[in-house]
A and B are shown apart, each in its own frame.
Chain A
Amino acid sequence: MIRQLTSGERRSAATILVALVIVGLAMAAAGRADTLGVHGAIVFLYSLVLLFLVLSVIFDPEPEPSRLSQYYDDPSKVGIVLTMIWAIFGMGVGVWVAAQLAWPELAFDAAWSSFGRLRPAHTTGVIFGFGGNALIATSFHVLQRTSRARLADQLSPWFVVFGYNLFCILAVSGYFMGITQSKEYAEAEWYADIWLVVVWVTYFVLFIRTLARRKEPHIYVANWYYMAFILVVAVLHIVNNIAVPVSLTGAKSYSIYSGVQDAMVQWWYGHNAVAFFLTAGFLGMLYYYLPKRAERPIFSYRLSIISFWGITFFYMWAGSHHLHYTALPHWVQTLGMTFSVMLLVPSWASAGNALATLNGAWHKVRDDATLRFIMVASVFYGLTTFEGSFLAIRPVNGLSHYTDWTVGHVHAGALGWVAFITFGSLYSVIPWLWKKKAMYSARLVEVHFWLALMGTIIYVFAMWNSGILQGLMWRTYNDSGTLAFSFLETVIAMHPYYIARAFGGLLFLAGAIVGTYNLYMTIRYTPEDATEKAAGDLPVPGRGEAVAAGE
């Protein structure tokens, strides 16, 4: 793969990696008295391994110029493999923490294995490791096909993929060591945050440069969503993470925000990480892989416009519904509630648009588990956004907040929507990228589908039950007018649901493992597709004609 880089690009890659090796060494030396030193060592080793790989081919001959008349898919392929590795890691940790709540002894006598440190490793592993890699890998694929142009250069996509994964590794390894800002879904410390900004700016520039090369006059709707995802996540990430480090030789920093302002910034970030990372980006996937797989055009262009701008505008107001009945001023709570309810309109416009697109292709949904993944994802998207608007209503939130109902809601979205659309998209794109006729085993896709669906349903029902039960127990009064249940009694009542939840998660994890096996077998043992159709997957001006570099 590295041989596909020109010798100039290989030299640039080596230069960047040498710089990173030095940065890693400097961090390790300066932070040797702190956990920062360990992160220095990780940066050092990570870049050293990559540097070795680049140097091993640095004097190899130049790649064939004909490559420029094809799409550049190597970064997407690596991204997809990384997606599945992160899926198993993130979901595996998820099953572990779920089991800890049922059986708290399931930890070692060591800090790294306790619930509080594993939980962000699970959320980051799944959201950023699994979700983020899937978004980056598919965005490169979709962007090129819908623009009918090759990626603008060959080096920056690699910088994005490997730079982003370095961020994920720093974040997750940090939580095990106790490095955390405690800001939910933004726990990584200041230096990792700065690194992510560098990676993200590169990602944005690459995206815009490739769009500028497009041979289609219009920017396709999937790319609107990918663009919104890249842009808004950058804004959210930068604003939420502004902090003052205690020293440049230590990992710890203090957020510039405090108290009520911090709470508002945090949930403005947190809720819009859901909106622009876990919704917009994956809607980008939906808008490409659904019509491709169903071989049906998107039902309504108008609905696409309404839902895109509705989501972009309304979501940013909704974060304060995480703070009902708190010390946040009432007017902000009310605004958050109001916009959260209005958000149902663009959300259901998207879900409806997706399902209506399947009209005329329902027999394919029946026969094709891949398309069924995408269909179920659309249904869960509709259900979860309805539930989200409902939970944002102040009195409903009074019952649900702080309970497992929220956890169930999040997982209806994360499993039923995000993971389902990802698996559906990956099963679509893997044969196209690796030029195979189909996945190694359609049967295993079917197995994965049912494991994932059963797992999600068991998980969500367990959390609905436990959440509503606990919320009601907290506010139950006995005849004498005092609270009926101690807190502990409500914890003990959760036990059966915690077991059920861990089991549901285990099924989902098993599905991801089956999917990874299927991916491996597809890459290694499935024959190439030599048909006309596979050979025709080329950018304009068309097959055979070389495109000048830099065009």
Chain B
Amino acid sequence: MPEVHRKLERNAIGFVLAIIVVSSIGGLVEIAPLYTIDETVESDPNMRVYTPLELAGRNIYIREGCYACHSQMIRTLRDEVERYGPYSLAVESKYDHPMLWGSKRTGPDLARVGGKYSDFWHVAHLINPRDVVAGSVMPAYPWLARNPLKISDLGDHLAALRKVGVPYTDEMIANAPADAFGQASPDASQASGVTERYGNDTTVSAFDGVPNRVTEMDAVVAYLQVLGKLTKAAKTEGAAGQGG
């Protein structure tokens, strides 16, 4: 072996090529089949996409680095299923570009936090976590309620996501700003379009408690409230929730 190697290390280009070949194998074997093996991601034709408001909330969640402390991936372990709900399926993050599975739980998992608390609770909690959860170490985000949400460019966001494979329709893209406004303003005329395009299960609400004014708080709460609710696949998978 050393003799062969002595030859290799006299040749820089040969050495470079050897590194490329040797280092490529692992990634190719583990990543490429994830696109070709059908069972990798469960299918659910009824799964819906994020509304523009929820997507904007997701982007704020990313911007603020929430994923650094909150996972969105319930593992197939008994205590996790009992604490957080049915274990996460691949299909549930199918439209998540990028995924936010996370790697650390300084705070609890949020994969199924949608519907667990009221909008009002979320607003109070985000403004100052220690007002509602004594002992929490989460940062306070009072500015979310003060900052108006930028909705004018949401159509561009949906269009970019369509390029990477999320099935947004032309109509969704064209109406993105109106839908974002409508979802946070139940009494406005734009509200009806949201359920028309995204389904009747879509929550239309003055998430931050102030209708007709769309803030970053509206978006974040709308996003948190939809987590785990885009598809019912995890509840119908059978084994989920039984523990193991």
Contacts and interface: CB of A to CB of B under 8 A. Distances in A.
A491 B13 CA distance: 53
B79 A313 contact: no
A324 B80 CA distance: 13
Contacts of B103: 184, 322, 401-402, 406
A265 interface: yes
Given A258-B165, A336-B30, A488-B135, A263 B99 contact: yes
B26 A114 contact: no
Contact of A258 (B19, B71, B96, B133): B96
Contact of B67 (A182, A401, A491): A182
Given A219-B15, A259-B90, A491-B136, A119 B65 contact: yes
Contacts of B116: none
B159 to A, nearest CB: 8
B12 A475 contact: no
B117 interface: no
Most buried by A among B35, B129, B130, B160: B160
Contacts of A369: none
Interface string A170-184: 000001001111111
Interface string B52-89: 00000001001111111101010111111011000111
A101 B137 CA distance: 6
Contacts of A475: 77-79
Interface stretch (B2-10, B186-194, B195-203): B2-10
A120 B106 contact: no
Interface residues of A, number: 98
Contact of B75 (A228, A301, A339, A398): A398
A496 interface: no
Interface stretch (B36-44, B177-185, B207-215, B219-227): B36-44
B148 interface: no
Given A259-B41, A268-B27, A182 B62 contact: yes
A302 interface: yes
A329 B1 contact: no
A116 interface: yes
B10 A302 contact: no
B139 interface: yes
Nearest to A265: B31
Interface string A155-197: 0000000000000000000010011111110000000000000
B88 A264 contact: no
A483 B1 contact: no
A189 B156 CA distance: 17
Contacts of B138: 104
A326 B101 contact: yes
Contacts of A101: 106, 137
A246 B90 contact: no
Most buried by A among B22, B35, B91, B100: B22
B34 A117 contact: no
A100 B31 contact: no
Nearest to A335: B30
Given A120-B65, A219-B15, A252-B157, A264 B135 contact: no
A232 B89 contact: no
B83 A253 contact: no
Contact of B98 (A120, A257, A406, A483): A257
A252 B82 CA distance: 37
Interface of A: 100-102, 104, 107, 109-111, 114-117, 119-120, 175, 178-184, 208, 211-212, 217-219, 224, 227-228, 231-232, 235, 239, 244-247, 250, 252-266, 268, 301-302, 305, 309, 312-320, 322-329, 332, 335-336, 339, 398, 401-403, 406-407, 474-475, 477, 482-483, 487-488, 491-492, 494, 498
Given A260-B41, A474-B80, 17 more contacts: A109-B143, A175-B65, A182-B67, A219-B9, A227-B15, A259-B93, A261-B40, A305-B1, A313-B26, A324-B75, A326-B101, A327-B88, A327-B92, A328-B90, A477-B79, A488-B133, A491-B106
